[in-house]
Structure 1
């Protein structure tokens, strides 16, 4: 497989994962917690880097190295988030339903009947689980796979593809 195809594959992988998260949110009704939002940013960065790598193929190795780092960061956030969901360690207080997460909000903004239902989504409760892994866990797995593919792109000399 050529470097160009690897770049298309990895960029498409991040598009699929980010698109899937948005589908779960807007079609499936699963509101994201703060750490869920954090996990989206590395994929957004990898998409931009993938487009840049395709547009400037001579610099693809550099863009791929940065994209690999973004995916490793995304995997780390996913592992941390999954660990919070499994009670392996404590998460951030801003999305665990404690601390000052509700400061400045009125009762009307939290009640579904008000039409402005904000709600607080806890990071320590998995909203969706498949084969024993939450969305955070699956994101970590796929982010590691994508990181490996980006590393392959970064380590492939231009003449090889």
Structure 2
């Protein structure tokens, strides 16, 4: 009897890798568009929340390629598990950030002053006057959730997809 880790993968694992690849790429693209097109500057915690997605994109691509190649299940399952752990880290960071925005707890001290810049002076004076974007003020909300709140939902969903893909039964057609 073959071990669950050595059996070839099925549709569920390949689909999970594809969802994670497309979902992580779409999430990071949306964050970049909100920043560079929409003008929503990210705070320190926002930038930290992006790292699981940056890392997940290449990992999900490798998991997808190896799952589609009918390789032994160890590598894709390990990659899906790693992505799930990254998404749990992102989930924890997003919950923490949302709590800071709702003033349930204090955020990092370097991240709680408003961003106020005056670009009319000389460069050194401007650099001294620049304050980091506030982590405790949501710059945007949709349906009552800030970017961090939406990331809680996205990270939880992607963690569920990753773990289900890694440990779910390999469906075959």
TM-score by length of 1: 0.85
Instruction: Looking at secondary structure, tell me which structure has more helix per residue.
Output: 1
Q: Are 2:99 and 1:83 aligned?
A: yes
C-alpha deviation, 1:119, in angstroms? 4.6
User: Residue 2 and residue 128 in structure 1: after superposition, are their counterparts in 2 closer, same or farther (change >3 A)?
Assistant: same
Cα contact 1:79–1:136 (8 A) shared by 2 = yes
TM-score, normalisation: structure 2: 0.79
**Which of these residues, 100, 115, 118, is aligned with residue 111 of structure 1?**
118
Gaps of 5+ in 1: 99-109
The within-5 A match list for 1:20-39 is 20-39=30-49
**Structure 2 gap segments, 5+ residues each:** 1-10
RMSD over aligned CA atoms reads 2.4
Partner of 1:51: 61
Q: For this pair of structures, how many residues does the alignment match? A: 152
* CA distance, structure 2, for counterparts of residue 83 and residue 115 of structure 1: 37
CA distance in 1, matches of 2:167, 2:139: 38
Which deviates more from structure 2 when the two are superposed, residues 81-90 or residues 56-65?
56-65
Q: For the Cα contact (< 8 Å) 1:61–1:156, is it kept in 2?
A: no
Greater Rg over alpha carbons, structure? 2
Offset at residue 157 of structure 1 (A): 4.8
